[in-house]
Structure 1
Amino acid sequence: MPYLPSLQCSYLLWTCLRQKYNVESHAAQFVVLILPVLACQTVLADHVQSVNIALLTACTALYLTTKTQAAKVEDSRNGSTSKFMNFLSVYRATMMIMTCIAILAVDFPIFPRRFAKVETFGTSLMDIGVGSFVFSSGVVSGRAYANPSQQQKNFFITSFLSSLRSSFALLTLGFIRLISTKTVNYQEHNSEYGLHWNFFFTLGFLPPFTAIAASLSQWIPFSVLALSTAIGYQTILAHGLQEWILNAPRTDLLSANKEGICSFLGYFSIFLFGLDAGKLIFSQKLEHTRILRLVKNHAKTKSKYGKLIIALAFWSIVYFALFTIFMSVIDGEGGQQISRRIANLPYIMWVITFNFGFILAFVIIDAEFIGNGSGTTVPKLFDAVNANGLLLFLVANLLTGIINMSIRTLYASYSVSFAVCAIYMFIVTKIGWFLLFNLKFRLKL
């Protein structure tokens, strides 16, 4: 996916720019961090390599002309992410930004059809985006399990009740989206999740299942639970469930939403893999993790970035190997094993492999720009997106519906299409900016 490095290149450009210039306003960060990504997903999709080369050239020029003894920039924003976790905040925000761009741009002619979700089998940008959203949510949730205290080891009841509260909030967002789309008769693809199901419902059922899995994690690692769930689900698919999902008529509430209900097991597995990654990232003693104990000769590095890079690189290789094995075992040719629609085992491993590599790229960038003392912090725009991510995702969905009802998107010119998508992203990010920095509002689920 050659268009994805534009995310890292844009972030790298921002880290270089802020060493010399004031790029703290919403408008400046929108131009540097959003517009290049929007262009690479739309009008410049066939010229992504040229865009990345241009961005990297600008980064190199700025980096070479920046004084190495530049003073550290202190970040006084309330609730800002600690410096070591910058890469995680950037990763989460870029996943959300990429998703928000795609859900509207796909309705315009500037969005390449190869980026749109496939009907049943195959891969695309939007297919990876859905799974990555779930994985990133798991990574963040992994913080609660990274360094458990003695009191936290027996908190199942409390955790389960808290998960129900989170579920209620997410399911409420799901019903809001369902009612709004059905009320305006917004065109939807029933084969994606079903007649009534939507992505918020999938997210809404994750917390209680996660609480149950967490109660077992004292004895069984999240990664083992995740892989067991994925293999078990794939086994059921192979014994008739896949045929039912793809071909059975919609005769009742269950069959009407068969894709959303059944694929939940796949997304739950992805979430568990994310939890395991989060435990690794948030661990206060990386040298005591399973991987670094296996590579003792490298674990002696003093840099926490170095330890994390070793661990992430190791797991990236392991999951890529598993992905390759499963792809060769499961029937299908030419990438026809992967299905976002049913969230099968190849799809799960594809998402996991991609996200470990994606996070690793951001860690390497931060290791250079933070580890060397240059003082990079998280862009305020990314903080704004992360603070109210799900709310902004709902806003993006509603705006997408409004725009589609207001103009004939498929017949818009390239210039109008890009302008509308740019204004839409400006509004979405500005709402997040206003909520966080003007109203001090954070949606807690």
Structure 2
Amino acid sequence: PPSTGASARPLWSSVVTVARSHVLLGAAVFILGVDFPAFARRLAKTERSGFSLMDTGVGLFVALAAASSPEAKGAPSSGGVQNVARTAKGSVALVLLGLSRVIAVKSLDYQSPISEYGVHWNFFFTLAFTKVTASVVYAILPARLDWLVGSILSVGYEAVLQSTQLNAFLDNGNRDGLVAANKEGLASLAGFLALYLIVVALSRRLLYGARSCVRDWVAMVFETGAVALVGLALTYVVHSDVAPVSRRLANLPYCLWMISLFLVTIVCFVLLQIADVLLCQDGMQVDFSQLQVLHKAKDSAGESQEPNLLWNSINFNAMPMFLLVNLLTGLVNIVLRPRTTGTLSAVLVLVVYISVAAFTTVFLYSRKMKLKLPFT
């Protein structure tokens, strides 16, 4: 039988690594795929409210950033002010990427729906603000209260949307002034911060507990699955009776949906890794704290093959890889004019595009070349 590894509380979870890599790869496919007429429009981002596959992208990115944070891992605090400064420094790269996207969109006249985030705002600004603001919250309040702060913030934000003129302001076409021009992106920050804090609390409780055998992980699956089912039920109730799900606003039902989807995603990957552990060859070592087979497999030629090579490669250079696919997307839009591209050509372009991104990340990982963005 496979031997066991250490059962200490893990500082990193291979489940989070694989989940984040899958989300990154999926986002890479969709950010270019949506530009082609062959792409199913029902999968594209909704303009105001509703459920769609691409609406999950920003929510899952925020959730996975929360799940990989020091607070989620239960790491001892290094000091409130120092933590805020470190997070702010690490987020400068995101701000620079956001500014670069604004400049590129305006310079190239690239299609970018204003109703998504606003005129100038984008995903990079949202993620940077969320991480920095969360670090401020943890500098002021004990980490054990994050679930309460997140819940109050999400419910309070929804109450403001329902009881004030904020919703009407966000729905009208007024774009006069910097705030009005970016009102969707600015308003949604409250929802994304709430999502971040709640996912940190859930990850600390459900994902990073010390486990020493498969039975512990099966128990984790049932516990996490139960929380996900409750979240999905609440999503349905709030979506039906209070307000429709809106990624654009990051409102309460959207946060509930993203929390539930994040937990379902984690459960699926844990089940896959349980199967991997149970099916591994006799004598292979297993680290049950991370539910991971440690020994590399051998191919037919006897060469070592690293499990999850693609996912580890993407995770190793996650932000540079995301920057690369954004640059490639812009290049394809300049050269090919995707809106006039047929289905077969679109598929071929997507295959080449994602292959270039995948081979680049695997090559960098195989050479242990970790690309550093400015200020990271």
| Both structures adopt the same fold (TM-score exceeding 0.5) | yes
1:3 corresponds to:
none
| C-alpha distance in 1 between matches for 2:11 and 2:200 | 21
Q: Which moved more, 1:388-397 or 1:372-381?
A: 372-381
Instruction: Note closer, same or farther for the CA distance 1:372–1:85 as it changes in structure 2 (3 Å cut).
Output: farther
1:278 correspondence with 2:228: no
1:350 offset after TM fit, Å?
Answer: 1.1
Task: Judge conservation of contact 1:89–1:386 (CA < 8 Å) in 2.
Answer: yes
1:433 offset after TM fit, Å?
Answer: 1.9
Q: 2:241 corresponds to which letter in structure 1? A: V
List 4+ stretches of structure 1 deviating above 6 A.
none
1:96 offset after TM fit, Å?
Answer: 0.8
Instruction: Note closer, same or farther for the CA distance 1:83–1:200 as it changes in structure 2 (3 Å cut).
Output: closer
Residues 104-153 of structure 1: CA distance to partner in whole angstroms, max 9, x if unpaired? Answer: 00111221111011111111110112211111111111x4443344xx2x
2:300 corresponds to:
none
1:182 offset after TM fit, Å?
Answer: 1.8
Choose which of 389, 394, 411 in structure 1 pairs with 2:323: 394
1:317 correspondence with 2:245: no
Task: Judge conservation of contact 1:119–1:191 (CA < 8 Å) in 2.
Answer: yes
Gaps of 5+ in 1: 1-68, 73-81, 288-300, 332-336
| C-alpha distance in 1 between matches for 2:308 and 2:132 | 33
Task: Judge conservation of contact 1:396–1:428 (CA < 8 Å) in 2.
Answer: yes
1:410 correspondence with 2:339: yes
Task: Judge conservation of contact 1:146–1:280 (CA < 8 Å) in 2.
Answer: no
1:170 offset after TM fit, Å?
Answer: 1.1
1:351 offset after TM fit, Å?
Answer: 1.2
Q: 1:147 corresponds to which letter in structure 2? A: G
| C-alpha distance in 1 between matches for 2:209 and 2:121 | 39
Choose which of 323, 326, 330 in structure 1 pairs with 2:242: 330
| C-alpha distance in 2 between matches for 1:317 and 1:221 | 23
| C-alpha distance in 1 between matches for 2:267 and 2:72 | 21
1:317 offset after TM fit, Å?
Answer: 2.4
Aligned with 2:246: secondary structure?
Answer: coil
1:282 offset after TM fit, Å?
Answer: 4.8
Choose which of 355, 366, 369 in structure 2 pairs with 1:437: 366
Task: Judge conservation of contact 1:286–1:308 (CA < 8 Å) in 2.
Answer: no
Q: 1:329 corresponds to which letter in structure 2? A: D
1:340 offset after TM fit, Å?
Answer: 1.0
2:308 corresponds to:
379
1:87 correspondence with 2:15: yes
Q: Which protein, 1 or 2, shows the higher relative CO under an 8 Å CA cutoff with sep ≥ 6?
A: 2
2:299 corresponds to:
none
With normalisation by structure 1, the TM-score equals: 0.72
Task: Judge conservation of contact 1:280–1:286 (CA < 8 Å) in 2.
Answer: no
Aligned with 2:250: secondary structure?
Answer: coil
1:120 corresponds to:
48
Instruction: Note closer, same or farther for the CA distance 1:302–1:204 as it changes in structure 2 (3 Å cut).
Output: closer
1:373 offset after TM fit, Å?
Answer: 4.4
| C-alpha distance in 2 between matches for 1:87 and 1:302 | 14
Instruction: Note closer, same or farther for the CA distance 1:232–1:443 as it changes in structure 2 (3 Å cut).
Output: farther
2:193 corresponds to:
268
1:60 corresponds to:
none
| C-alpha distance in 2 between matches for 1:86 and 1:316 | 20
Task: Judge conservation of contact 2:211–2:217 (CA < 8 Å) in 1.
Answer: no
1:102 offset after TM fit, Å?
Answer: 0.4
Choose which of 357, 362, 371 in structure 2 pairs with 1:428: 357
Residues 56-80 of structure 1: CA distance to partner in whole angstroms, max 9, x if unpaired? Answer: xxxxxxxxxxxxx7x89xxxxxxxx
| C-alpha distance in 1 between matches for 2:230 and 2:223 | 11
Percent identity between matched residues is 28
| C-alpha distance in 1 between matches for 2:206 and 2:12 | 10
1:43 corresponds to:
none
Aligned with 2:249: secondary structure?
Answer: coil
| C-alpha distance in 1 between matches for 2:368 and 2:14 | 23
Aligned with 1:146: secondary structure?
Answer: coil
| C-alpha distance in 2 between matches for 1:344 and 1:390 | 27
1:216 offset after TM fit, Å?
Answer: 5.2
Aligned with 1:365: secondary structure?
Answer: helix
1:172 corresponds to:
96
| C-alpha distance in 1 between matches for 2:339 and 2:247 | 25
| C-alpha distance in 1 between matches for 2:349 and 2:121 | 28
1:306 offset after TM fit, Å?
Answer: 2.2
Q: Which moved more, 1:428-437 or 1:341-350?
A: 428-437
| C-alpha distance in 1 between matches for 2:182 and 2:203 | 31
Task: Judge conservation of contact 2:80–2:140 (CA < 8 Å) in 1.
Answer: no
- What is the number of residues matched between the two proteins? 346
1:341 corresponds to:
248
Aligned with 1:399: secondary structure?
Answer: helix
2:219 corresponds to:
307
Gaps of 5+ in 2: 4-9, 285-292, 295-306
| C-alpha distance in 2 between matches for 1:178 and 1:387 | 26
Q: 1:162 corresponds to which letter in structure 2? A: R
Residues 361-412 of structure 1: CA distance to partner in whole angstroms, max 9, x if unpaired? Answer: 1111111212564465741111111122222212211211111111121222
Instruction: Note closer, same or farther for the CA distance 1:83–1:247 as it changes in structure 2 (3 Å cut).
Output: closer
2:112 corresponds to:
188
Residues 150-197 of structure 1: CA distance to partner in whole angstroms, max 9, x if unpaired? Answer: xx2x71111111111012121111112222222222121111111111
Choose which of 247, 252, 276 in structure 1 pairs with 2:177: 252
Aligned with 2:165: secondary structure?
Answer: helix
Instruction: Note closer, same or farther for the CA distance 1:128–1:247 as it changes in structure 2 (3 Å cut).
Output: same
With normalisation by structure 2, the TM-score equals: 0.84
Task: Judge conservation of contact 1:323–1:350 (CA < 8 Å) in 2.
Answer: yes
1:110 correspondence with 2:13: no
1:156 corresponds to:
80
Aligned with 2:39: secondary structure?
Answer: coil
**Equivalence map 1:11-90=2 (5 Å):** 85-90=13-18
